[in-house]
Amino acid sequence: MPSYPPAPLHMIDLIRKKRNGGALDAREIGFLVAGAASGSIPPEQLAAWLMAAWLRGLSLDETRSLTLAMRDSGEKFSPARLGKVAVDKHSTGGVGDKTSFLVAPLAAACGLVVPMISGRALGHTGGTLDKLESIPGYRTALSLQEFETVLEKCGASIVSQTPSLVPADRVLYALRDRTGTVECPGLICASILSKKLAAGLDAVVLDVKTGSGAFLRNQEDSEYLAALMVSTTEAAGTRAVALLTDMGEPLGHAAGNWIELVEAVELLRGQRPAQSEDLRELSLILAGWMIHLGNQAATPEAGYARAEAALADGSALRIFFSMITAQGGDISVFDNPAAFHKPGATQVLAAAESGFVSEMDTTYLGWAVQRLGAGREKAGEPVDPHAGIDFHARRGARVEQGEPLATLYATSPALLAEPIEILKDAIVISQTPPDAVPLVNRIFTRETAENYLQDAVR
Ligand code: URA
């Protein structure tokens, strides 16, 4: 049999195939991703394919091919030269979620290297980069060479994505944002993991949020995404675990930019405010898994114990401060954090009645934080480092009428009114206490993820 060169591919055929419920093979996906990155496929064709993928879903094989093709669409970072196991943590996004500031130095203190490429505020959720940029001088836009230098010196570095890393995601994500095609498990999985895998990780711990403040509120959708991400990461040769964690209330007491860093540093200094216990516990659990998957502890529980020791002996705090200094930040602002905090306006919200805090609609609380000035109305706008909310009562707490529920910090007095009204609706007080919700409600390892996906009908 003579062998013929493969037939040339045409984007219109790939759109039709997906639209009709077919599955694209690795060559077709590679063609699409290369065309997205180079600009040779026009946005209207990419958008049509994205909508077909949203409506029809992506198979496991398509998701894997898409993830790998996107990973390979640009420059990659290789931490191998640093001679340590490289691990990271990724969260699907929440309100008050500042675990990155704890887990990165904790894992580094336990012998790992943590090359963390983070994002900005998205929708109602806060952004790690926006929070770090409240520290005067802190630079998030490092070159890959500078990134490597900070990692070598400190063991952890938290930076923004460079223009050349996963360029296909930049194009596809912007189109998804404008075409209503963000919430598709296969597309979310490929978008998140292509960036993690391009950072050359040996292992990644995925924190998949569930509950009222999560992007995917429904437990089943979160489970499917978690299992899909673990399976896709493992198939790419990187170890992974996913924890489904509660986002039915803000994590810790602070939600904003500067005030979140202050809360994280309090914990790194060994303080234990009661309102931060969930944050401390989740950070130790996530760090424990990072340390275990990075081969520095035989079990996640042993990893937890090592992380707790690094918190107690101050080594994680030293690493966090050395990272900030290496990236140009001025750590003297942590000498007197209250003096640095200068919001344009402050208002305390008091409980309208006595009872138990039974529900917190955390997506709305997140919008309130963003509208105080902590987030953006339009891409590229600056954010206010000092805006945010300090929550004084957690879900389940007994409160008396007139007791403070939250303190709001805004850029200006005019920005207080709407968030105050949001909080009045979003924080529900009832006469009976709510059921307790576990912090971690399910864990997917390679084995449990594969079993779950075999049973899942999608
Ligand atoms: N974060 C990402 O980077 N991509 C998504 O698709 C969703 C969240």
- Choose one of 50, 67, 173 to mutate for the ligand 1 pocket test, by most ligand atoms within 8 angstroms of C-beta: 173
- Residue 354's φ and ψ, nearest 5 degrees, are -85, 150
Neighbouring residues of 275: CB distance < 8 A, sequence distance ≥ 6: 252, 253, 391, 392, 394
DSSP E strands, 123-238? 156-160, 203-210
Instruction: Please indicate whether residue 90 is annotated as part of the active site.
Output: yes
Instruction: Please indicate whether residue 435 is annotated as part of the active site.
Output: no
Nearest to 364 by CA among 428, 410, 409: 428
Instruction: Please indicate whether residue 292 is annotated as part of the active site.
Output: no
Tokens found for residue 413: 């007095």
What is the predicted pLDDT for the residue at 457? 59
Choice among 118, 191, 231, 322 that is catalytic: 191
What is the predicted pLDDT for the residue at 161? 87
Nearest to 270 by CA among 331, 302, 318: 318
What is the predicted pLDDT for the residue at 2? 67
Nearest to 209 by CA among 298, 122, 86, 117: 122
Q: What is the pTM of this model?
A: 0.94
- What single-letter DSSP state applies at residue 38? H
Q: What is the pLDDT along the chain (458 residues), one digit of tens a residue?
A: 667 778 899 999 999 999 999 999 999 999 999 999 999 999 999 999 999 999 999 999 999 999 999 999 999 999 999 999 999 999 998 999 999 999 999 999 999 999 999 988 778 888 999 999 999 999 999 999 999 999 999 999 999 988 899 999 989 988 998 888 888 999 999 999 999 999 999 999 999 999 999 988 888 989 999 999 999 999 999 999 999 999 999 999 999 999 999 999 999 999 999 999 999 999 999 999 999 999 999 999 999 999 999 999 999 999 999 999 999 999 999 999 999 999 999 999 999 999 999 999 999 999 999 999 999 877 778 899 999 999 999 999 999 999 999 999 999 999 999 999 999 999 999 999 999 999 999 999 999 999 999 988 55
> Which amino acid, residue 145?
Q
**Beta bridge partner(s), residue 203:** 87, 239
Nearest to 177 by CA among 111, 132, 119, 107: 119
Tokens found for residue 307: 């992380």
Pick the atom of ligand 1 nearest to 195's CA. Answer: 3
What is the predicted pLDDT for the residue at 1? 63
Q: How distant is the alpha carbon of residue 264 from its chain centre?
A: 16
Strand pairing of 156-160 and 427-430?
unpaired
Atom 1 of ligand 1: nearest residue by CA position: 192
What is the predicted pLDDT for the residue at 120? 85
State the Cα–Cα distance between residues 46 and 32, nearest whole angstrom: 8
State the Cα–Cα distance between residues 327 and 409, nearest whole angstrom: 27
Pick the atom of ligand 1 nearest to 191's CA. Answer: 4
By the 8 A CB rule, do 255 and 391 touch?
yes
- Give the residues surrounding ligand 1 with Cβ less than 6 Å away: 182, 188, 191-192
